[in-house]
Chain A
Amino acid sequence: MNPYKILCINKHPTKQDIIQAAAFAMRERKYDIKEIAAAQKELIDPIAGITQEFLQFIDLKSLRDRLDLTRSKTQTLSSLEYLSCFDLKLSD
């Protein structure tokens, strides 16, 4: 169960956000009432909330930020000239 998905809610929601999202989810009727209630309970409880945040989100920013995206010097297409080295081999 992903309570964030059920309640259609972002990371770090406030208690008010959670309650409003639960009310909205009940009106939407996309999920069962029990699922919505369980999702709300999970996110309101501090320990369960942290646990769910850990489980449902990934943060790869630090892994990406350490990478060097500087381009190295590149060639131009026009610099490619036909080579005849393989023609010779063919005639052999």
Chain B
Amino acid sequence: MKKRPQNRDSILAKAEKFFNRGNYPLAKREFEKADRISVQDDITEKIKICVREIGQLKAKDLVKKARKYAKKSKLREALRCFEQAYGISGEDWICERIGQLKGDLSGSDSIDAARQAEASGEYEKAAGLYRHGTQKGKDTRFKIAHCLVRAGKYDDAVSAFKDLTLSDYSAMYDYGFALAKVGKYPQCLNIWGPIESDDSAFLKQRASVQSLLAADLYDRFEHSEDFAGIYKEGVSIVDSSGDSSIGDLVEYCKYAWIDQLWKEEQYETIRELLFPIPSKMEADLLTLYAKTFFKLAEISGKHLSDFIMFWLTTVYNPEISGKFSARPEERDNVRRALIRKAEDLLKKYADVGDKSSKAALACWNVEKKLVEDIKAIVGDREALSCLICSPQFAVRFGKSGQIIQLIRDNRDFFTDLEHYLQTGGYYSSAGPSLFYLKNRQYDKALAGLPVSGSYDAGESEFVDYCVEMVQFACGLQCLEEGEDLSRPYIETVVNLFNKTSKYEQELIDKAIDSHEPDKLRLYEDVLSELHSRRPTKGIKDALSLVMSRRAIIMFNIHRMNSKVLNTTIKKALKLNPENEFARGLLGHVKTNVEIEKLNHALSRHKMGKACRIAAMSENEKVRDLFFEFMERNLEELDGHDMDSTGKAFFLRELYKWCADVDESHPILDKIYNKSQTF
């Protein structure tokens, strides 16, 4: 069928439809058709708009493509698309982007060139090209630094690495190598520190750097007095590498620095240099420790424990004190003066200080006596002079065993068993507990006792003594605080009392000094237990007294009746018939019991029984009470609603009761006279 020719209006309508929908290519075609039929200005204008809009769409499409290429780093393709788009739209931003892309393309070329240069060993050139590259990311900066190292530009390489975070061994090695090459050996070793490599060449090179550093230290040592700097660097090398070749140099510098610090009165820094304390302590070193801690003690009470340990051992050391003077008398005087100076310091802190300062003084007093005893035992035996030291020192330097043996071998030296056991105890593995005890730190003393089997058999008698002492003191403390004691405690205490009775007396004194019923009960229980195992006169007497004292207190507060009181007092008197307190109580108690019985009988009108009690009582008070009752009845007779016969009968009875008790009592006359009135 032949296509029917369209008229101009329908073509225009179609064109307008496409135009309004933004379909400019189709709109353009339709407008052109209409224009061919009849040329009109508005149609020509619309065609122009369509052409422009079609161009914009094309440019948009090209920009989109360009961006995709740029994303995929296809910079040349991206550039081509942006240029085409710019040719169409002529927008400024596209022009700027084209400029950027051209720059990037040039940088990319530099990176490529740098890679090529690096691969061919032209490191300096490569570094330069990497620098010109547009990509200045972390990787490129590492590449620059690496190429500088390879090019032998070590100073530049060190600068390049400076702000980089080293995350892999390659970079660490490069940086360390550059540092070593510029003579910064400690920094090199520091950077290489984290590299864990078994590579023999690397290990050898690290050792070489250490050797160079050691040589550097020696050079500085010979040409300067920077002992502090050399010492610090030396310690760092020894610590990190275990290199012992510079050990003596480092130690020499330490002592040289200490000399400088002493003159500057920097005692705290000296103390830091003296730690860790070595396992062996020769006389000169011991003197240094003692003097340093003395100086520190003059400044503050922070290190009193170490001061005591070193001072006592030093001043009693024959090699050290031998240098005081050639004359023994003068030597002793200097030692005494030095001890006095230490004591003055300790007292100063104890007077104004806290608990620990007071504890330090208590510790000093104990340790001084112990060291004096050991010195006396050692006497002139030079071979044993190294054993003259405080217990703390002995523990730290492993001399305790020898000292214990020395004590055991010289038992006759000691004044008594307690002196012997106590001296050995302080030097034994339970010694710290005795020191805690001295300062009333009961929990620590108990916790510090060695577990059975954890100590040498040679020290067992001393450890046993310490255990007994600590348990006794802690037990006594419990009693004073109103706490019960367990049975094993009693066993231990009996062992201690068998060795030395002075602690038995201490317990007795505490018991006798007690006046509160609850505490008296605790002491009564303990004394009673002890009495069953160790019935000494002291314990018997104390138990008797505590028992009777507690009984009367309980009676007075109505927590014990007279019958139980009587029994208890009798029991107490059986333990100690000479217990004057109980004896006094017994008379009082008897009277009380009779009075109680008399009152009971009288209140129930059991007059026969009342008469018997009053007649039989040895106590006047009981009879007086009986007659007072009768007198009251006689006086109140007139007021009673009773006839004369009854009253006469009552008076006869009254007379009989009273006569039964005391035939000569004046009340009998009164009763008789009264009966005559009826």
Q: Which residues of chain A have a CB within 8 Å of any CB of chain B?
A: 46-48, 50-51, 54-55, 58-60, 62-64, 67-69, 71-77, 79-83, 85-87, 89-90
- Whether B170 contacts A87 by the Cβ 8 Å rule is yes
Contacts of A63 in B (CB 8 A): 255, 284-285, 288
Does B150 make an interface contact (CB < 8 A)?
yes
Please determine whether B325 and A83 come into contact, CB atoms closer than 8 angstroms.
Answer: no
Instruction: Known A58-B262, A67-B248; judge A86-B169 contact (CB<8 A).
Output: yes
How far is the CB of A79 from the nearest CB of chain B, in Å? 6
Structural contact, A67 and B251, CB atoms closer than 8 A: yes
Task: Give which listed residue, A48, A76, A81, contacts B337 with CB less than 8 A.
Answer: A48
User: Is there contact, CB below 8 Å, between A75 and B211?
Assistant: yes
- Besides the known contacts A58-B259, A80-B209, 20 further A-B residue pairs in the complex with CB atoms under 8 A apart: A46-B330, A47-B333, A48-B337, A54-B338, A55-B294, A58-B291, A60-B255, A64-B252, A64-B256, A67-B252, A71-B214, A74-B212, A75-B211, A75-B212, A77-B180, A77-B212, A80-B180, A86-B169, A89-B168, A90-B169
Could you say which of A48, A77, A81 contacts B183, with CB atoms under 8 Å apart? A77
Known: A80-B180, A90-B170. A69 touches B334 (CB 8 A): no
Please report the C-alpha to C-alpha distance between residue A79 and residue B214 in the assembled complex, in whole angstroms.
Answer: 16
Q: A89 to chain B: which residues have CB within 8 Å?
A: 168-170
A-B contact pairs, 15 of them (CB 8 A): A47-B330, A47-B334, A50-B324, A50-B325, A51-B334, A59-B284, A63-B284, A63-B285, A67-B249, A69-B221, A69-B252, A77-B180, A80-B177, A85-B202, A90-B168
Q: Are A79 and B208 in contact (CB under 8 A)?
A: yes
Q: Is the CB of B201 within 8 A of A85?
A: yes
A-B contacts, CB under 8 A, total: 111
CB within 8 Å of A: which B256-270 residues: 256, 258-259, 262
With known contacts A60-B259, A75-B212, A80-B180, A86–B170 Cβ distance under 8 A:
yes
The answer to whether B248 touches A68 (Cβ under 8 A) is yes
- CB atoms of A54 and B173 under 8 A apart: no
Interfacial chain B residues near A54, Cβ < 8 Å? 291, 324, 334, 338
Please give the residue numbers on chain B whose beta carbons come within 8 Å of chain A beta carbons, in ascending order: 149-150, 168-170, 172-174, 177, 180-181, 183, 195, 197, 199, 201-202, 205, 208-209, 211-212, 214-215, 218, 221, 245, 248-249, 251-252, 255-256, 258-259, 262, 284-285, 287-288, 291, 294, 324-325, 330, 333-334, 337-338, 341
| A73-B218 Cα distance, complex, nearest whole Å | 12
A47: chain B residues within 8 A (beta carbon) = 330, 333-334, 337
A79 to B205: give the CA distance in the assembly, Å.
9
For A48, list chain B residues within 8 Å (CB): 337
A81 / chain B contacts, CB cutoff of 8 Å: 205
Query: What chain B residues lie within 8 Å of A75 (beta carbons)?
Result: 208, 211-212, 215
Given contacts A48-B337, A60-B259, A80-B205, contact A86 B211 (CB under 8 A): no
Q: A55-B341, A71-B215 are in contact. Are A60 and B288 (CB under 8 A)?
A: yes
The 8 A-B residue pairs whose C-beta atoms are closest, nearest first, are A74-B215, A90-B170, A67-B248, A86-B170, A86-B173, A75-B208, A60-B255, A51-B337
How many Å lie between the Cα of A79 and that of B150 in the bound state?
15
Do the beta carbons of B183 and A74 come within 8 Å of each other? Answer: no
Q: Nearest CB to that of A50 among chain B residues?
A: B334
- A50 CB contacts on chain B under 8 angstroms: 324-325, 330, 334
What distance in Å separates the Cβ of B226 from its nearest Cβ neighbour in chain A? Answer: 16
CB of B201 to closest CB in A, whole Å: 5
Cα–Cα, bound, A67→B16 (Å): 107
Query: Contact at B181–A74, with CB atoms within 8 Å?
Result: no
Most buried by A among B170, B174, B201, B251: B170
Chain A residues whose CB sits within 8 angstroms of the CB of B183 once the complex forms: 77
A77 & B255 in contact (Cβ 8 Å cutoff): no
